Structure 1
Amino acid sequence: MKRPTAIRLCAAATTTALAAVTGVVLLMPQASAAATGATGYATMNGGTTGGAGGQTVRATTGTEINAALCNRASSSTPITIEVEGTVNHGNTSSVSGSSCDTADDEIDLKKISNVTIVGVGGGAVFDQLGIHVRESSNIIIQNVTVRNVKKSGTPTSNGGDAIGMESDVHNVWVDHATLEASGGEDDGYDGLFDLKDNVQYVTLSYSILRDSGRGGLIGHSDSDLSSSFITFHHNLYQDIDSRTPLLRGGTTHSYDNYYVGLTKSGINSRMGGHARVDNNYFKDSRDVLGTFYTDELGYWQVSGNIYDNVTWTAPGSENHPAGPDPQSNTTVTIPYPYALDAASCVPDIVGRTAGAGKGLKVSDGNCSVPTSQPTTPTPTATPTTTGPTAPPTQPSGTNLSIGAGADGSSKGGGTSYGNAIDSDMSTYWSPNGSTGSLSVKWPSPVTVSAIRIREASGTEGRIGSWRVVDHDTGAVLASGTGAGAITFAATSLRKITFEITGSNGTPEVAEYETYAG
């Protein structure tokens, strides 16, 4: 596009011990980082508090997460695990212990309870590595990004699900997460948020699910009708083929979600499922509600939704859309209190609050986001390793971005990735929202030790927290706040990614320069 001329959620604590093998930092007991509390069905059945009241542990690798679980006195001892950095296959190994059942190449929350996993500082990214919850309860997963988890190809993790729950799981709250893929099943990916085999009392809130063939399912087959009582609210579903979610049996409540770019179908209630659908905004999508791909019908109660440029296919065998004028065909009673934002303000509210790195901000239920509320947790201890911060001096030499390629997580309307590497300060790239990533790439390895991020004129200061990631390995090269010059240890790579994890408005990157030194 061409332009015209943290409040700390955990109190300070004293380090008490270091895990001898992994270097995990252990802190004194304190409240869970999820200070605002669970919502929706996760508040029922005794509630969801995660690791509240237990010890807090700092982790920067998957192995350290596993060690934290295994070092507890028992599998139910409360614990909060603060995660910063990139968790990937290279740093996630199984750890043994009587209080855990961990695995290589995924975060396996198996046969445990009373656990919080929360991203802190510059953020937590689970890169090509999924989070698996099995036979567990009272779990909170908050402020994390899980991306590009594959079930086929290389590498694989968690059956291809970003977050998957199965086999007698109850009371889980996933909040302010970003779950994303880079394609559909043919590209090796499965679901972003799959629940199966008796998963109950779960809430997914203020999260982003995007760029995937499958948003998620409840029940893995037409004979699996045991999962139920799931709430979805203030989430963004963007560029998804279907399953937002697919519901087999059970009861769900979807309210104040923003669905945009659903290409095949959306909320698919079947096999007697009951879906309450309130004050959602559906845009530029197809068949956003109904029973699809089966004649085993489901049911829905609808109220206050907006259908903006939604198309509906004709009814037929195994195709039962609720539109073009969706009407309720059942009544679904909701047992918990909740405040509804008007559907007309949902795109704005969700854009300002949903996803990792948004400071844990939430709506007040009256179409506004209060400025005085908890923000993204600040780390309660210095990590075992830290990336350099941006120096005041500018890098010198040849800008390696000129003539290179570029891609990213998303792009705002009218912008392009190439605008950030064209030596033209009047053009720019912006993400489709307030966070996103932009990469520079080369056909063969180059050595990079500095980058310079230049914001478009008039938007200086919008970029908040960021990380620089070696896309080849997932290693975090640096993290900090604000645009400008950033240096780090010289690294040979094919692709380097600048991740914006927090911002003050929509960032506009005019130039993403890279230098050898």
Structure 2
Amino acid sequence: MRTRPPRTHAQRSTAVTAAAAALAAVTVLALPQSASAAESSPVGFGAGTTGGGSATTTTVSTLSAFKSAVTGSTAKVVKVSGLISLSGQVDVGSNTTVLGVGSSSGFTGGGLRLKNATNVIIRNLNISKAVGTDAITVQKSTKVWIDHNSLSSDRDHGKDYYDGLVDITHASDFVTVSWNTFKDHYKGSLVGHSDDNASEDTGHLRVTYHHNWFDNVNSRIPSLRFGTGHFYDNYVVGAGTAVHSRMGAQMLVENNVFRSTQVAVTTNRDSDADGHANLKGNDLGGATTEISQVGTFTSPPYSYTAEPASSVVASVTGGAGAGKL
């Protein structure tokens, strides 16, 4: 038998360092491969959106001050302190970040509109009970990130008393909707407003939804016409009809969890033409699916990590909504 000579101090130190590195690598690999609940930049089709960037910050607590602060296309960061009442919507200009202060700032009674805008971030706001309008409307706008907001109304009125929570229409493009809560509402998120708008919308309406919590929202989770949607790592509870692909839209529905939901995904309702859907790794929780056309959108053109459905509920309930940044 050959006897191995004793190791020197340097050799022992090297071995300890290597062992520690190996243990660290194993530890990292053992963790759930989920997105951070406080991402500093958007993942998905909205990647590259910077909003106001490092521009000077203005903090507002009144509606008039907010309206003044968000106009124009000059780079700006606007912090909303407290809950502001409004009627209708306020237009937000390009190159803007709107950021709620703390966990309870935002708007009630109305919402925000992005129209002919580009490079806008909406984060950490509570927007509730936008009567007769959307909580957030995106029209003819590109490069948008809607993140960590708490959006809600109630279901005590008819389905048209409020409109959508996040509606994305008129050829808007490159949008990410992440880590938001959608609560107590009839019509969650409409992408593409009409069957008759193919000439404007075709080739646009590229939207990513990830790590959102839809709780007691009846439908449009989301409803997508003409565009391309990636819906991954979302938690849907209490829906009638959740994901709805129509008018030739392409949807990749990946690693989501559905509970107390009747129809998780449909491609063949309420439009002149069916949509397409690919399903991958979802936990349907007993919900049915209606897939008349399997689509060709199977691999998004961006880098992302979809955590498995088994860890989605913990991630989303722990990290979605205002006050979770």
Same fold (TM over 0.5): yes
2:239 corresponds to 1:262:
yes
Deviation for aligned residue 1:294: 3.0
Percent identical pairs in the alignment equals: 35
What code does the residue aligned with 1:236 have?
W
Answer yes or no: is the 8 Å Cα contact 1:196–1:224 preserved in 2: no
2:170 corresponds to 1:197:
yes
Tell me what 1:49 maps to. 50
Tell me what 1:374 maps to. none
Deviation for aligned residue 1:105: 4.6
Deviation for aligned residue 1:213: 0.7
- The equivalences for 1:91-490 within 5 A come to 105-109=88-92, 112-151=93-132, 160-166=133-139, 168-183=140-155, 185-186=158-159, 188-225=161-198, 226=201, 227-263=204-240, 265-291=241-267, 292-311=269-288, 321-322=290-291, 328-358=294-324, 360=325
Indicate how the Cα distance of structure 1 residues 61 and 196 shifts in structure 2: closer, same or farther if over 3 A, else same: same
Instruction: State the alpha-carbon separation in 1 of the partners of residues 313 and 264 from structure 2.
Output: 16
Deviation for aligned residue 1:203: 0.4
What code does the residue aligned with 1:287 have?
V
Deviation for aligned residue 1:68: 1.7
Instruction: State the alpha-carbon separation in 2 of the partners of residues 239 and 141 from structure 1.
Output: 23
What CA deviation, in whole Å up to 9, does each residue of 1:430-480 have, x standing for no partner? xxxxxxxxxxxxxxxxxxxxxxxxxxxxxxxxxxxxxxxxxxxxxxxxxxx
SS at match of 2:193: coil
Instruction: State the alpha-carbon separation in 2 of the partners of residues 271 and 51 from structure 1.
Output: 35
Instruction: State the alpha-carbon separation in 2 of the partners of residues 63 and 106 from structure 1.
Output: 13
What CA deviation, in whole Å up to 9, does each residue of 1:258-306 have, x standing for no partner? 011002x111101000001110111110111012223511101111111
Deviation for aligned residue 1:348: 0.9
SS at match of 1:344: helix
Instruction: State the alpha-carbon separation in 1 of the partners of residues 68 and 308 from structure 2.
Output: 45
Instruction: State the alpha-carbon separation in 2 of the partners of residues 294 and 229 from structure 1.
Output: 19
What CA deviation, in whole Å up to 9, does each residue of 1:201-252 have, x standing for no partner? 0000000111111011111110224141100000011111111111111101
What code does the residue aligned with 2:44 have?
G
Indicate how the Cα distance of structure 1 residues 162 and 281 shifts in structure 2: closer, same or farther if over 3 A, else same: same
2:80 corresponds to 1:83:
yes
Instruction: State the alpha-carbon separation in 1 of the partners of residues 188 and 103 from structure 2.
Output: 26
SS at match of 1:335: coil
Answer yes or no: is the 8 Å Cα contact 2:137–2:168 preserved in 1: yes
Tell me what 1:400 maps to. none
Give the CA RMSD over aligned residues. Answer: 1.9
Instruction: State the alpha-carbon separation in 1 of the partners of residues 160 and 251 from structure 2.
Output: 30
What code does the residue aligned with 1:123 have?
S
Instruction: State the alpha-carbon separation in 1 of the partners of residues 165 and 271 from structure 2.
Output: 22
SS at match of 2:305: coil
Q: How many pairs align?
A: 282
Deviation for aligned residue 1:123: 3.0
Instruction: Name the structure with the higher helix share.
Output: 2
What code does the residue aligned with 1:322 have?
I
Instruction: State the alpha-carbon separation in 2 of the partners of residues 340 and 220 from structure 1.
Output: 29
What CA deviation, in whole Å up to 9, does each residue of 1:171-206 have, x standing for no partner? 000000111111264461111111111110000000
Answer yes or no: is the 8 Å Cα contact 1:88–1:105 preserved in 2: no
What code does the residue aligned with 2:114 have?
V
Instruction: State the alpha-carbon separation in 1 of the partners of residues 82 and 185 from structure 2.
Output: 24
Deviation for aligned residue 1:329: 4.0
TM-score (norm 2): 0.82
Deviation for aligned residue 1:149: 0.7
Instruction: State the alpha-carbon separation in 2 of the partners of residues 197 and 190 from structure 1.
Output: 16
Which of 37, 40, 48 does residue 41 from structure 2 map onto?
37
Instruction: State the alpha-carbon separation in 2 of the partners of residues 187 and 76 from structure 1.
Output: 33
Tell me what 1:476 maps to. none
Of residues 184-193 and 338-347 in structure 1, the stretch that sits farther from structure 2 once superposed is 184-193
Tell me what 1:96 maps to. none
What CA deviation, in whole Å up to 9, does each residue of 1:332-381 have, x standing for no partner? 331110011110111111000001112x1xxxxxxxxxxxxxxxxxxxxx
Deviation for aligned residue 1:127: 0.7
Answer yes or no: is the 8 Å Cα contact 2:251–2:297 preserved in 1: no
Instruction: State the alpha-carbon separation in 2 of the partners of residues 353 and 247 from structure 1.
Output: 26
Instruction: State the alpha-carbon separation in 1 of the partners of residues 164 and 118 from structure 2.
Output: 21
Answer yes or no: is the 8 Å Cα contact 2:182–2:212 preserved in 1: yes
Indicate how the Cα distance of structure 1 residues 351 and 137 shifts in structure 2: closer, same or farther if over 3 A, else same: same
TM-score (norm 1): 0.52
Deviation for aligned residue 1:328: 4.2
Of residues 300-309 and 137-146 in structure 1, the stretch that sits farther from structure 2 once superposed is 300-309
What code does the residue aligned with 2:151 have?
L
The unaligned stretches of length 5 or more in structure 2 are 1-37
What code does the residue aligned with 1:330 have?
T
SS at match of 1:113: coil
Instruction: State the alpha-carbon separation in 2 of the partners of residues 139 and 308 from structure 1.
Output: 36
SS at match of 2:50: coil
Instruction: State the alpha-carbon separation in 2 of the partners of residues 328 and 304 from structure 1.
Output: 15
SS at match of 1:232: strand
Deviation for aligned residue 1:122: 4.8
Looking at both structures, which has the greater relative contact order when contacts are Cα pairs under 8 Å and sequence separation is at least 6?
Answer: 2
Deviation for aligned residue 1:35: 7.0
